[in-house]
Structure 1
Amino acid sequence: MKKLFSLLTALSILSLGAVDVTDVKVDVRDKFGGDAGAVLSRCQTRPGVPYDPVMVSRDVTALNESGEFQEISADATRNAKGVTVTFSVYRKVRYQAPLEVTGNSFFSASKVTSEADLQDGGLYSEGDLADAAARVRAAYWKKNFPQAKVSIFPRMIPGGNNCTLRVVIDEGERQKVHDYVFEGAKHADADDLRATFDVFPWWNPKGWFSDSPVSDDQLAQAADKVRAYYNDLGYLDAQVAMPVRVPDGTGRVNILFKVTEGSLYKIGEQSITGVTRYSPDLVMAKSELPQTGSVAGAKTLADAAHRVMVTVGSGDSGLADTRVDVKRIPREDDPQVLDIVYVVTEGVPVVINDVVIEGNDYTKDKVIRREIALGPGDRMLEDRAERSQRRLENLDYFARVRYSLRQTNRGKDASGAEYRDLVYEVEEKNTGSFMIGLGASSIDSIYLSAELSQANFDLFAPGKWFRGAGQKGRIYAQVGPRIQTYEAAVTEPHLFDRLLELTVEAYRRQRWYDEYDLVRNGAAATLAYPVKFWPTWEPFGRFGVRLSAELISFEDVDDAQYYVNGSSDATRPLFKDEDSKYGDAAEAVLRLFWSHDTRDNFRIATRGGRTQVFGDLAGGDNSYWRLGVNHRQYFNVWRRYKHILMASVRAETIDSFSESDGVPIYNRMFLGGPRSIRGVEYRNVAPLREKAGGGDWSPWGGQTLFCMNFEYTVPIVQMLRLAAFTDLGSVGEEEFDLDFSDTFAWTVGIGIRLDIPMFPIRLDFATPLKKPDHAEEELFSFSVGYDF
């Protein structure tokens, strides 16, 4: 519930000549008493100074910003010697605890006090007290008291604006809801209708985060949503009566929606009228109108009208202020078929005088302007203006973005186009987050994680809490018995005001394996730039370069003897040898890469793909090269039911520059586990080494990797999907080693995807059709995160 801040309710100033202020008065309308001097001390308007309405306005603003008044106005009247200025104020009350609660039975007084959330000594207006009452009332609604009434009354303490507060509650009858029933709903599923107002079955995770409608106002809104749902299905005459509560005989009630569906309408012939600057046929073709015979849903027709408006508002003429109305004409021979006429009221050509940004309190203007594809002197084109709006919305910095045209006094250009300002109004929202949680996976066991991030970061603005420059900042920590990670990163997406993205990061990563612990301390800087290719010369992916430097060390290394190269005679403490040769290494890696991402959603994609091709050159204590490609593609194979097929391929190879140096185990390649080949233990799809004495085999890694994954997901309910998958791959011993016969694995399985916001869970059951001889099976695996 938003707090109602002090409002400037009236500022009535007469138009006066150059005269002096003769008197300044204070009209205290709250009748609390008190010193008028406290008001005058905040005002610059004083007797003897020239009367200035701007100064009076600033005085009203200063009084408002003090937070002590809920109503403020100023009035100026002429007298024989000059002007009398009167400030009228209505002060807030200052609450003194405790809160007096009467009429409560279900909730205790302490619970009511907690829900009211009023602070001892706080200043409150009548609106603030109404908000507190609403919070208590909402708490009752959640507990199925639909008729609960809550009022808060101040009791003034003589001698000032201090008061105690009395909460008067009429709880009404508790009516726990058993079900929401739809009488007359023949062509819509009841679960779909309930979902329109966020009521889901108990087993659907989305229902765990929403409140069911209980009060009369909430039920009226629910009825409107059900009616809108029917309208979008093509039942344009659908009616939904105000829901009523019907006892079910068990002490609970059913909420009954009486639905009159009406007829299902289809689209007949479509035409456009009112267009003079363009050919109507051309406008229809560019507007992508719905097909004849398709359902005449309200949203379908509204979207089509909007596309017509954008088409007319773009092109060569660019007619701003174009309006499109939809006229539905039933056919005489079949009234359920509607001939649709898009009635266009053409606007006027407009040239942009200036681009004005409003509402950005801390986001820098340039962060917004660089997303706007129009500038001063450009013809106003609706398609570009809308595309700019979507780009601003996609930044996720703003709760709302809208644009409009504002009249100017500049007139028209030589062609007759009007000069207007293009105004983008934004409403900023919280772009920072702090998350702490407990996670688990088959690989990492149980771990505690915490993340502090800011999506609209400004490294050089501590006065604005490091917000506003469009950078991204992140600090992350993950601590568990098998993993410890600490990371800090800053990304500047427009370095030097160009499409050059710079990311700087520092990290410490430690992981515990059965044979050794590995610690990586490092830092990296990445530069990436959009690349263009012939013949379109449109941006197609990003080319980048990444330079990293790491200190890599082993800890708690297994000193047991292992057979060398599978021999039953020669043994060595292989992991101790790795520590001796490659431990405490300083390694610098230069990576060149090209990446391309066309996914429609970065979390749960339904179409598009993601590709990265890279090459590494490493120097320092370890000198090697690495080549790799990773591609993942999503196909919406059954659009109506949102069946998604994911296919991915990954291939890498690595080798040292010197044959004698070799490749350290921490740079070699492994497969297996929940994020590569499910059904086989983590890192077990790779060359293995047998511990002397027999029985135990440990991952040793290889220098060439190939892996393919296919997964088909089917949504069951909101936030719950079933998956069927197959994974296959292998790791070769040497560089470009394509003989995978010894380490090849192929698995199949099924899984569950719980798409809980910010905490998606993947549960998989898999079995190998083929696996390396000594690799361990892993029937069940789970992880937290989106697609690997």
Structure 2
Amino acid sequence: NIQPQVIRRTGADGKPVVDLRWAINEGQPAIVNKIEIAGNDITHERVIREAIVLLPGDVFRQDALIRSYQNISNLGFFQQPLPFPDTRPANDQGDIDVIFRVTEKHTGNINFGASVGQGTGVGGFLGLDEPNLFGKGKKGHFQWQFGQNISDFQVSYTDPAIKESRISGTFDVHNTRLRYTIADLGTLKREGASVQFGFPVFNDRYTRLFFSYAIDDQTFTGATTGLAALSCNNCIRSTIGVSLLRDTRIDLPFPTAGTMHSIGISQSGGPLGGSGNFQRLDLEGRWYAPLGQLGGAASTSPVKFVMGLSSRSGLVFGNSPFFDQLFTMGGVQYGIPLRGYDEFSITPRGYDPTASNGQASASSFGKAYFATTGEIGARISQMFYLSAFVDAGNVWANAGEFNPTRLFRGAGLGVSIVSPLGPIGIDWAYGFDRTDNFGRPAPGFKLHFKLGNFF
């Protein structure tokens, strides 16, 4: 109960003044009596309740209701937009019931067809993805790519709640035969498996600690002379890793708010056996701020505008005989993305203008990198996204040369679509710091096409 009280009096200078006082009498706070879920014909109720932060017996809070709504939407199992939760009186004391209503959508994808890639040649693909296996939120993934320069087989299974606990697990097996025609990187043969377990940190639903182990039998053959320094025959990569992830983003896969931070450390070889002996550190941060929205009737999603900033960096310490564990930059397909530049064109020696001809050498790979992107985006729907972006990044030969103040710059426009074949993107970017063969400035535009991830 809120009542205004107006007090008229005479001020020190003799002029009349008015004091306004608000008298607030706090009533009994509303308590959440029960939470109901309607419309989940496939997804188990436990999966949805795991996403709800508002619990029976809690004092009703609007911010907790909104966050629960966003978490359920983030699952990606239901038609968008979700109807906002309903509330109804539960008793004469002012307690309330909360009802979440969902409509199931088809989540699994079977995709097949032909593909043409600059590095993988002509081939075909067959894939199966199910992010809501058995209606329990488990993930199954099968992929087979085959063709002139590629034979890639991968199967993975993820359980986000092992035996209905807060512990997650992922198991992956793969067998790869790739002939990298671009830059004549030679033939990669790799077979192995990995396992990862995740644990909540301090009972925080948005922060998890992961432990992983991976073992691969790798062989690189047929590379150019310069790349021979990075090739090995029947090498074993034995790697143990630990990573910390905190993710509060909403409206995935095109976030409109929230943050994501991750740090990962791994040890390969050395005391673990296998080839080489090196450590790798990976850092990543993403930040999103909403700028507003247009439209958004009851049955349609609004167009949401967002400002995003992301940064990534990596460092390798020690001796790595595996070039796929080092860093190369440029383009969008093979290494660290930097739009406006060709694949492999950003090297520890600077910009390489010959990379446009598909040329690379051992010196194209570094042990340290930094990349950052700023963008203004329009999330048209959960499946369609437009952006204007600015990229910057660089690669260094070793960690001691790391210098994020010396970066190559690019800017442009992008379109991203989530299709049954996976993410598809087209980026048109301008590379500001490109040069010609004589070192003279030669900035220019570059068109990038992305169809899923080849690596």
TM-score (norm 1): 0.43
The 2-side partners of 1:723 and 1:419 are apart by 45
Give the gaps of 5 or more residues in structure 2: 5-25, 295-302
Following the alignment from structure 1 to structure 2, what is the Cα–Cα distance between the partners of residues 632 and 390? 18
Q: 2:337 aligns with which of 660, 663, 676?
A: 676
TM normalised by structure 2 equals 0.70
SS in 1 for 2:185: coil
Separation in structure 1 between the aligned mates of residue 219 and residue 94 of structure 2, nearest angstrom? 69
Q: Is the 8 A contact 1:440 1:783 kept in 2?
A: no
Which secondary structure does the structure 2 equivalent of 1:575 belong to?
A: helix
Quick one: which of 132, 135, 138 aligns to 1:471?
Answer: 138
The CA distance in 2 between the partners of 1:649 and 1:382, in whole Å, is 34
Alignment of 1:152-551 (within 5 A): 279-280=1-2, 316-318=29-31, 351=33, 363-364=43-44, 366-371=46-51, 378=57, 381=60, 391-392=71-72, 394-398=74-78, 428-438=104-114, 448-457=124-133, 467-479=134-146, 481-513=148-180, 514-532=184-202, 539=205, 541-551=207-217
CA-CA distance at 1:621 after TM superposition: 1.7
2:341/2:434 contact within 8 Å kept: no
Q: Is the 8 A contact 2:30 2:94 kept in 1?
A: no
Aligned to 1:626: 280
Against the structure 1 CA distance between its residues 699 and 779, is the aligned structure 2 distance closer, same or farther, given a 3 Å change threshold? farther
Q: 1:606 to 1:426 in 2, by over 3 A?
A: closer
User: What is the DSSP-based 3-state SS (H/G/I as helix, E as strand, rest coil) of the residue aligned with 2:207?
Assistant: strand
Give the direction of change, closer, same or farther, for the CA distance of 1:771–1:617 in structure 2 (3 Å limit): farther
- In the alignment, the residues of structure 1 paired with residue 89 and residue 125 of structure 2 have an alpha-carbon distance, to the nearest angstrom, of 49
**Distance 1:592-1:715 versus aligned 2 partners, 3 A rule:** closer
Q: Which runs of 5+ in 1 are unaligned?
A: 1-278, 283-311, 321-350, 458-466, 559-572
d(CA) in 2 for partners of 1:608 and 1:392? 15
Aligned to 2:370: 706
The counterpart of 2:398, out of the listed 717, 734, 739, is 734
Kindly indicate whether residue 267 of structure 2 is the aligned counterpart of residue 606 of structure 1.
no
- Percent of pairs identical after alignment? 20
- Matched residues in 2 for 1:476 and 1:751: separation? 30
Residue aligning to 1:586:
236
Equivalent-residue separation in structure 1 for 2:307 and 2:127 (angstroms):
32
Displacement of 1:616 in angstroms is 0.9
SS in structure 2 opposite 1:706? strand
| Residue matched to 1:748 | 410
1:106-121 matches, within 5 Å, as none
Q: Distance in 2 between matches of 1:716 and 1:367?
A: 28
Secondary structure, in 3 states, of the residue corresponding to 1:677? coil
Cα distance in 2 for residues equivalent to 1:508 and 1:715: 37
Deviation at 1:516?
A: 0.9
1:745-784 alignment, distance < 5 Å: 746-755=408-417, 757-758=419-420, 759-770=423-434, 779-784=446-451
Post-superposition CA distance 1:565-597 (Å, at most 9, x none): xxxxxxxx4434543xx3211111111111222
Q: How many angstroms does 1:435 deviate by? A: 2.5
Q: Deviations over 1:445-490 (max 9, x none)?
A: 6654332122222xxxxxxxxx133311121233455554322111
Relative contact order: is structure 1 or structure 2 higher (C-alpha 8 Å, sep ≥ 6)? Answer: 2
- The 1:390/1:650 distance shift into structure 2, 3 A limit, reads closer
Amino acid paired to 1:649: S
Distance 2:383 2:69 in 1: 29
CA contact (8 A) 1:597 1:609 kept: yes
CA contact (8 A) 2:230 2:362 kept: no
Q: Which moved more, 1:624-633 or 1:709-718?
A: 709-718
Find the aligned partners of 1:781 and 1:390 in 2 and give their Cα distance: 32
Are the counterparts in 2 of residues 474 and 488 from structure 1 also a CA contact under 8 Å? yes
Distance 1:437 1:712 in 2: 34
Identify, as 1 or 2, the structure richer in helix: 1
1:654: which partner in 2? 316
Residues 493 and 603 from structure 1, CA distance in 2 versus in 1: closer, same or farther, beyond 3 angstroms? same
Q: Rate the CA distance shift 1:630–1:439 in 2: closer, same or farther, 3 A.
A: farther
Q: How many residue pairs align between the two structures?
A: 400
RMSD over aligned Cα, in angstroms? 4.7
Q: Is the 8 A contact 2:210 2:242 kept in 1?
A: yes
* Maintained 8 Å contact 1:442/1:782: no
